[in-house]
Amino acid sequence: MTSSSDNSQQLDTVRIERLELDCIIGINPWERLTKQRITIDIEMNADLSAAGKSDAIEDTINYRDISKAVTAEIEESSYGLVEALGARVVELCLEDERTQSVEVTVRKPGAVRKATAVGVVIRRSR
């Protein structure tokens, strides 16, 4: 059995699953006329050990604040591509300096016949 003697930081994950939002999304003229439902999954990786010890919300990534910021931004937005929408959500998540990396999945239900949803996964890290 070998032991790791490196000083690498352990990362934990704050997850928001299936955030359902309505926004203008799409490149077709008819898609620009009315809001459509999308779903967003967010995984933010950070060292959450301070919060584990203190039990204080100030020591963690507040998923409620992230959800509110994403909701406010996206429901008032008008993107053509889910890629651009996902990239903006990633930017919002990285505003908290504790976030070391983030993965955002954006799904657009009903966009392709015979598929439950289409979408993208955007991953970024510091």
Catalogue all structural domains in the chain, each as residue range(s) with its CATH number: 12-125 (3.30.1130.10)
Position 4 scores a pLDDT of: 45
Dihedral sign, Cα of residue 24, residue 28, residue 31, residue 37: negative
The overall pTM is greater than 0.75: yes
Position 8 scores a pLDDT of: 57
pLDDT tens-digit series, residues 18-72:
999 999 999 999 999 999 999 999 999 999 999 999 999 999 999 999 999 999 9
